[in-house]
Amino acid sequence: MMNCEIFQTQLDDYLDGELTPQAEHSAQQHLTRCSSCRHSVEQAKLIQKALHTLQPPMMSKSFAQRAIKNAVKHHHHRRQGFVWGFSSALAASIALLFVAAIFMQQQRNTTDPVTTFAATSPNQVLQQVTISVGSPQTVNLLFDLAQSMEGATLSIVLPANVELAGFPGQREISWQANLRQGPNILPLPLKGITRSSSDLIASIEYAGKRKAIRIHVNVHNQPTPQATLLPIPVV
């Protein structure tokens, strides 16, 4: 008989429909008995939908526009690159913000303000965000595009002390998405595994070019919101 531990290790295959018929039957039976695992499935499906549709959570378009405007105004004279660069014409049309919405999974309907982070240097840790052990907290990636991108590839490389809620044990996650002109927000519900610090890398690839950005993730017992608005460099 399947238990919660076994089900969680097979959650990804269950969501992708890759279980054997026997394992699928056992999983379905377990879900009829276990409300906790049913909740995990519901949350994972919501996350998968968010990853594919890039629907902005708790953030208006006007907020995104203000964040970008303020970032450019504060540091318009600085031109620093990302880890990998696009061609000049494409890179000039892209601003990449890390918007860290520090709130717990069960507090998604609150009106707490979000905190905005952005890159500062191509070869260093770019910004820091603090999350807590065990409880998912959402880090939003905001891509503001001057043009649409059909079939762009988005990738997230996670450190060992952090996982994406609903994707247990996966260190690298990639998918394709159609990005619209203007603000596109990708919510990443991150969960700390152990108390330590390490780096997360997010990248976007389009038309044979790739740009990536690094963010330092501190995992503590309790989250510590930060409240700075920093510039977004383009090359």
- For the residues of 196-211, what is the DSSP string, one character each? -EEEEEEEEEETTEEE
Q: How many domains does the chain have?
A: 2
pLDDT value for 56? 40
Nearest to 162 by CA among 123, 124, 136: 136
Share of the chain above pLDDT 90, in %: 8
pLDDT band at 23 (very low <50, low <70, confident <90, very high): very high
- For the residues of 103-162, what is the DSSP string, one character each? EEGGGTTS-PPPEEEE---SSS---EEEEEBSS-EEEEEEEEESS-EEEEEEEEE--TTE
pLDDT value for 50? 56
42 inside domain: yes
107 inside domain: yes
pLDDT value for 95? 40
CA atoms within 13 A on the CB side of 110: 10
pLDDT value for 47? 63
Of 51, 70, 88, which closes a domain?
Answer: 51
231 inside domain: no
pLDDT tens for 34-46 read 998 888 788 777 6
**What tokens appear for 36 in the block?**
């906790």
Same-domain status, 150 and 190: yes
The whole domain housing 31 covers 4-51
Same-domain status, 21 and 74: no
- Domain CATH code at residue 184: 2.60.40.10
Same-domain status, 154 and 181: yes
Share of the chain above pLDDT 70, in %: 54
Same-domain status, 163 and 117: yes
- Give just the sign of the alpha carbon dihedral 210, 128, 182, 101: positive
Are 207 and 91 in contact by the 8 Å Cβ rule? The answer is no
Same-domain status, 18 and 116: no
Same-domain status, 96 and 74: yes
Same-domain status, 212 and 136: yes
69 inside domain: yes
Taking residues 96-100, report their average pLDDT.
Answer: 43
Same-domain status, 114 and 12: no
pLDDT value for 31? 93
Same-domain status, 19 and 133: no
For residue 234, pLDDT beyond 70: no
Taking residues 141-149, report their average pLDDT.
Answer: 71
Least confident of 17-21, 86-90, 161-165, 231-235: 231-235
67 inside domain: yes
72 inside domain: yes
pLDDT value for 10? 85
227 inside domain: no
For residue 170, pLDDT beyond 80: yes
Are 107 and 62 in contact by the 8 Å Cβ rule? The answer is no
**C-alpha 120: how far from chain center:** 19
Of 14, 34, 51, which closes a domain?
Answer: 51
| Distance of alpha carbon 129 from alpha carbon 95, whole angstroms | 19
Reduced to 3 DSSP states, what percent helix, strand and coil does the chain have, rounded to the nearest 5? 30, 35, 35
Q: Calculate the average pLDDT of the chain.
A: 65
Same-domain status, 61 and 10: no
99 inside domain: yes
pLDDT value for 178? 77
Same-domain status, 80 and 119: yes
Same-domain status, 73 and 39: no
